[in-house]
Structure 1
Amino acid sequence: MPHIARVHSNSLAEELELQAGDEVLKINGESITDIIDLQFALSTEELELEVKKSDGEVWVFEVEKDYDEGLGVDWENPTVDKVHLCHNKCVFCFVDQVPGNMRKTLNVRDDDYRLSFLHGNFITLTNLKEQELERIVRLKMSPLNVSVHTTNPELRVRMLANKRSGEILNQIRYLADNEIEMNTQVVLCPEWNDGEELDKTIRDLAPFYPAVKTLSIVPVGLTKHRRGLHSMRPVSHEEAKQVIQQIRSWQEYLRPKLGSSFVYAADELYVLADMDVPPTEFYDDFGQTENGVGVIRTLLDEIEEVWPYVPRSLGTKVRRVGVVTSTSAEKTIRSCLSRLDDVSGLYKEVFPILNDFYGHHVTVTGLLTGQDIVTQLRGKLEDVDALLLPDIMLKDDADVFLDDYTVEQLSNELGKPVTVVPATGSGLLYGTMGYTQSLPPRRRYEATLRNLDEGMAEETELTN
């Protein structure tokens, strides 16, 4: 049964005086078995809600609401029942490379189609039973995110260490034939699924377009905690250049046929290759930004959009700010901030942080830890008055890093105020300038100017 973990403020649940610990017994007379049942049951405009309170008393509510209005709660279990765990033993699995003393959720390997549908998690399809595939089709649970890695059945069995993993093309064909849209990915492992094997994977998946809408190629992430795992090395500078050229060749071949690039290199490959990311049109509708594809291009485009609204002066104020980022994002952040070089009264410094916690092969901003930031910046902040952090370093809706450091703790240990801003062009430029009152917290790269244009225009007029 669904148990409530947290009630959001100004929500329907708060209005009904629901509380953490309450249990939803039935909706419109039907018991709830998992999160999918719950989502569909809540999609109606009239509800009869049967709730067992934490003291054992049962309340029944008759509710009228908007069609798309939810209860406004977090559940104790994200799937209501139990998360379907992964039964693979992938040679590149990142979870197997996470230290055991991390918080429990970081050591859980899920492979749950419901979380793929609701939250965009990538799944391998290897753990799906036939009735679950049929349920996906019956309920039109689309889109799904699918980790393919290779379409070579024998190679996929070896890479995933699961005898069922060789069925991937049959599973994709079944879903595609039933109009289920999929975004797919390959975690590129040198000497495993690169070269000709990558060509085969692209060649096998492209004919399923538009059901298979995108294919991202992401370099394998290797931490220093790989004891007892398969021997594997990271993608090299030269290999990254070769893979990008390989992908470009496929894009040039597929665009006239599909009207889409279809296959995309993750931003990290361009960083490894020290190459510029492609122009906007090559990313089509930016379908895999959450997988690190097109994030740099999105940021650069947002910088262009917001730049006309950015004040060119701080007036009589002086602002000295340090911008914290990762080693892979350093070049891009410095380039974006160079726009502010002529702003009177502004002194800025970029602090790229090496990932000592996971190892230096891990370079993305979202995997930095609070302890690494503290260790590497302690004693180096004499010339700045404040620090700026992008929100992708933190857990959603909380000021907590992967290592459970809090923003407050980081600020106290470094002796500097810390401001968290959205990882967007407006977040970066306005945050650096100190104008953060109009920037909503916890916004990711999908945030755009649509919510900020009016406020920015007014602010610019007042400060120029």
Structure 2
Amino acid sequence: MRPRNGIEIESVLPDSPAEKAGLQPDDILLSVNSHSLRDAIDFMFFRSAARLLVEFSRNGIKHRVQIKTDEGTDPGITIKPFKVKTCKNNCVFCFVKQLPKGLRKPLYIKDEDYRLSFLYGNYMTLSNIDSCDRKRIVDQRLSPIYISVHTTNKSLRNKMIGNPRASDIMKELKFFSDKKIRMHTQIVLCPGFNDGIELQNTIKDLYKFYPYVSSVAVVPVGLTMHRKQQLNPVTKEDALRAIEIVAPFQKRFQKKHGDPIVYCSDEMYIKAGINFPNLKDYGSLPQIENGVGMVPLFLSQSKKIRMAKTISQEGQKIITFTGTSFYPFLKKFIDRLSEKEDIHVDVLPVENNFFGNAVTVAGLLTGRDIIKNLHDNTDSYRVLLVPDVALKEDEDIFLDNVSLKDVEEATGLKTIRTEATPQGFIDAIGTL
């Protein structure tokens, strides 16, 4: 049961300042240097002093200890996750609502939490924050935060997010801009809603808050075959029009600020069937986790791989897989390795039967689809390289709870989790 007041310790690092002070897992931290604690962010904010006077509760009894650290040193405590604030919107494009049954339970959580936005870069609409939340973001400098804007047209935005009471996003952005809070924003492009002139106007409006609105990503709406709401997918023509709208802004912003500010996602260029911009045109890659610049970065890294002095496959035939959109780029990289380095790996494009073939990225492939595709393609192979983007960050399981062990048992292949980078690919082969 979560404590009503304070935050609960999940683990204490051996020989850490916290352990030396006597703190233990399941202790409830109540305050640090007289500052009450609501969640892990409070602890992060107040722990920077060299001496921490900690009040905590153990078995209902309050205690006080002093933790001595070098200033800014981690005292060695991991805090249990806080309860996530959930989304009350009814977005026309909500991906969570398009999920079928049978996936990992956390995937069905519609989070709308400014703390997750600050900690992990999760996008939020700012539709459920109050004055206390705004004050905390400013006071504790929780920056940058990541905001789903979609459109700056208030009535259209409220319609798109299914919340007629949502506040005016322009007023929210102005508030945080005035307080010098950095923001990264996204526009989920939905044809017939926020494309065309609406997209142009939204980019113009967001630019008014530069540099505090530090970047704008334009990404195509993701649609699964399980969606109930009628929504048009982004076609090749839609993608081309979006890129044509964005390009002049990029050119003007680059000339004026040395920063393109607004970017189309990789998927937009793939849908349009045109080349990506040069990697240098993505600036500092501020939205790479949003699929902006991932493929150009991979292509650039593929030219700079470090080969081990000896890599031997020892007769082991290797196969890997990816989503259908990334397949041509991974195949080209692997073919070049085969020509220059005598490394032979086959790559299998896996169609997404679970979500529908409109979903083309490796990160949304299920274990069942991978097994199904491998069944007819595993003859003579011994090893399967599994890109980590298809797996849970801290565990070897896919979206549908199928594990790497399940894949091994179903296919007879030895599975190796690999970092989804050119060097990670090479390093994985080097372990054979």
d(CA) in 1 for partners of 2:363, 2:372:
18
d(CA) in 2 for partners of 1:342, 1:292:
29
CA contact (8 A) 1:52 1:59 kept: yes
d(CA) in 2 for partners of 1:103, 1:22:
29
- Is residue 405 of structure 1 aligned with residue 402 of structure 2? yes
* Equivalent of 1:31 in 22, 36, 39: 36
Deviations 1:128-177 (A, max 9, x none): 11232222222222111010000111100110122343510111011111
Residue identity matched to 2:276: V
* Superposed CA RMSD: 2.3
- Is residue 49 of structure 1 aligned with residue 54 of structure 2? yes
d(CA) in 1 for partners of 2:356, 2:280:
34
d(CA) in 2 for partners of 1:317, 1:101:
39
Per-residue deviation, 1:23: 2.3
Per-residue deviation, 1:394: 1.3
The runs of 5 or more residues in structure 2 that have no matched partner are 1-5
Change (3 A) 1:15 1:331: farther
- For residue 3 of structure 2, what is the aligned residue in structure 1? none
Deviations 1:166-200 (A, max 9, x none): 51011101111111111000001111111111011
- For residue 305 of structure 1, what is the aligned residue in structure 2? 304
* Equivalent of 1:358 in 355, 358, 371: 355
**Paired residues for 1:311-330 under 5 Å:** 311=308, 314=311, 317-330=314-327
- Is residue 92 of structure 1 aligned with residue 93 of structure 2? yes
- 2:379 alignment partner, SS class: coil
Residue identity matched to 2:103: M
- For residue 272 of structure 2, what is the aligned residue in structure 1? 273
Deviations 1:411-438 (A, max 9, x none): 222111111111222112333xx1149x
CA contact (8 A) 1:392 1:423 kept: yes
d(CA) in 1 for partners of 2:222, 2:407:
26
Change (3 A) 1:184 1:416: same
- For residue 217 of structure 1, what is the aligned residue in structure 2? 218
d(CA) in 1 for partners of 2:85, 2:80:
15
**If the length of structure 1 is used for normalisation, what is the TM-score?**
0.86
**Paired residues for 1:12-411 under 5 Å:** 20-53=25-58, 60-78=64-82, 82-165=83-166, 167-227=168-228, 230-306=229-305, 309-311=306-308, 314=311, 317-342=314-339, 346-411=343-408
- 2:277 alignment partner, SS class: coil
- 1:427 alignment partner, SS class: helix
Change (3 A) 1:29 1:174: closer
Per-residue deviation, 1:322: 0.6
CA contact (8 A) 2:40 2:79 kept: no
Per-residue deviation, 1:361: 1.2
Deviations 1:330-386 (A, max 9, x none): 011112112212356632100111111222111111111111111111242113210
CA contact (8 A) 2:285 2:292 kept: yes
- 1:186 alignment partner, SS class: strand
Residue identity matched to 1:294: G
- 2:304 alignment partner, SS class: helix
d(CA) in 2 for partners of 1:16, 1:405:
42
Residue identity matched to 2:159: R
Per-residue deviation, 1:57: 6.2
- Is residue 435 of structure 1 aligned with residue 430 of structure 2? yes
Change (3 A) 1:8 1:269: farther
Deviations 1:271-318 (A, max 9, x none): 212222110121011000011100011111111222xx3258646833
d(CA) in 2 for partners of 1:420, 1:123:
31
Per-residue deviation, 1:21: 3.1
CA contact (8 A) 2:33 2:52 kept: yes
d(CA) in 2 for partners of 1:135, 1:420:
40
Per-residue deviation, 1:95: 1.0
- 2:303 alignment partner, SS class: helix
Change (3 A) 1:10 1:322: farther
d(CA) in 2 for partners of 1:102, 1:316:
35
CA contact (8 A) 1:314 1:343 kept: no
d(CA) in 2 for partners of 1:207, 1:345:
53
Which of 250-259 and 390-399 deviates more? 250-259
- 1:361 alignment partner, SS class: coil
CA contact (8 A) 2:51 2:68 kept: yes
- 1:215 alignment partner, SS class: strand
Which of 417-426 and 157-166 deviates more? 157-166
- 1:264 alignment partner, SS class: strand
**If the length of structure 2 is used for normalisation, what is the TM-score?**
0.92
- For residue 457 of structure 1, what is the aligned residue in structure 2? none
d(CA) in 1 for partners of 2:367, 2:21:
39
Residue identity matched to 2:239: A
Change (3 A) 1:13 1:415: farther
- For residue 453 of structure 1, what is the aligned residue in structure 2? none
Identity of aligned residues (%): 37
